[in-house]
Amino acid sequence: MHELIIIGAGPAGLSAAIYAQRFKINTLIISEDTGGTANTAHKVDNYPGLSGLSGFELLMKFKEHAEMLGAKIIIDSVKKIEKINDSFRITTKDKEYESKSIIIATGTKRKKLNVKGEEEFFGKGVSYCAVCDGFFFKGKDVCIIGNDTHAVQAGIVLSPLAKKVYMINDKKEYNSEPVFIETLNKMNNIEIIKNMNVKEIFGENKVKGIQLSDDNKIECEGVFIEIGSVPGKALISDLNIDCDEQGHIKVNEKMETNIKGVFAAGDITTGSMRWYQIVTAASEGALCVKSAFSYIKEK
Ligand SMILES: Cc1cc2nc3c(=O)[nH]c(=O)nc-3n(C[C@H](O)[C@H](O)[C@H](O)COP(=O)(O)OP(=O)(O)OC[C@H]3O[C@@H](n4cnc5c(N)ncnc54)[C@H](O)[C@@H]3O)c2cc1C
């Protein structure tokens, strides 16, 4: 029986892991990977004190810090969380764990565009991660679909690699930080197509292009779908945790959920004014541990 199990080892989970070690809570971290979504950030220039690192480099520093303090991270996928009397049973692919309290820090999953060809050509030209897959499109024409920071950052990453980058935005403007938009506007192989939707991704064995809502076609070899993320609901369905309409776990200022002993941090919550950043995720992870410590002590 652990005192605390942290599910997820992105910024929120790893920050919680660091604080849990300092609070001397008997803790286990279970996660599908270390680093989480932040690993896909090309360059993180807004984490205080550590500018200029890639997301992966920054999160490896989080991991090293947690492990240096003694944190134990198990790489596994949690399939189920159940409340058994006053504790929790956490089931992974092939093991069961028990804990007095839990922190859910499982982040979000990439949103699907839901157009014809998206599923068929996934991995054959369709990608949800410019940082991870951009290299495969060196010297080729690519399209980026989206209207916020995800799309703008993908443009910044892909422009130096690709021959030409078409950016399809269903709005008039990008909803992103001005500093990113300024950088994007300086790139000379980008064509932005505004107020436009995508009807279809077409090809033969691999992507050959997209068809727009005005029926025009753009030929390209890569299609990057950068339309944001949604929280995964399956994992928490047995717990009856209160969520908002998008599936973000409702938390109070102590990062408590409606279930006693269950805390949540990071992109999966409604906390921090829904400002989904590494620094806010890390802050929520720290707050969770403070609350979990009080909860464990009380019990
Ligand atoms: C392209 C891109 C660029 C970005 N750039 C920046 C930036 O420059 N600055 C900034 O501050 N933020 C940036 N962000 C946002 C930032 O990455 C997120 O806000 C942050 O990663 C959220 O942290 P998290 O710990 O809540 O979730 P995640 O980082 O998503 O971590 C979730 C963790 O949970 C694990 N997990 C999920 N499901 C399970 C399961 N069932 N069982 C076990 N483990 C599970 C995952 O493996 C992962 O380790 C960027 C995001 C993207 C996509």
Return the minimum-mean-pLDDT range out of 13-22, 178-187, 236-245, 276-285: 236-245
Q: Are 116 and 201 in contact (CB under 8 A)?
A: yes
Q: What is the pLDDT of residue 232?
A: 81
Q: What is the pLDDT of residue 200?
A: 98
CA of 59 to the centre of ligand 1 (A): 10
Question: Counting Cβ atoms within 10 Å, is residue 96 exposed (0-12), middle (13-18) or buried (19+)?
Answer: exposed
81-132 tens-digit pLDDT: 999 999 999 999 889 999 999 999 999 999 999 999 999 999 899 999 898 8
Q: Are 121 and 112 in contact (CB under 8 A)?
A: no
Query: Whole-model pTM?
Result: 0.88
* Percent with pLDDT over 90 in the chain: 87
Is the model's pLDDT at 293 over the cut of 80?
yes
Residue that the structure tokens 């959920």 belong to: 257
- What average pLDDT score do residues 220-239 get? 90
Instruction: Indicate the SS3 state at residue 113.
Output: coil
139-150 tens-digit pLDDT: 999 999 999 999
Q: What is the pLDDT of residue 143?
A: 98
Ligand 1 neighbours by CB, cut-off 6 Å: 7-13, 30-33, 36-38, 40-41, 44, 46, 77-78, 105-108, 150, 153, 232, 235, 266-267, 276-279, 281
Question: What's the rounded Cα separation, in Å, for the pair 156 and 291?
Answer: 39
CA of 51 to the centre of ligand 1 (A): 18
- What average pLDDT score do residues 201-230 get? 96
Using alpha carbons, select from 138, 162, 153, 161 the residue that is nearest to residue 184. 153
Q: What is the pLDDT of residue 139?
A: 97
For the CA of 12, the nearest atom of ligand 1: 25
Whole-number mean pLDDT of the chain?
Answer: 95
Other CB atoms within a 10 A radius of the CB of residue 164 amount to 15
Q: What is the pLDDT of residue 132?
A: 82
Give the residue whose CA is nearest to atom 33 of ligand 1.
8
Question: What's the rounded Cα separation, in Å, for the pair 224 and 177?
Answer: 20
User: How far does CA 285 lie from the centroid of its chain?
Assistant: 15
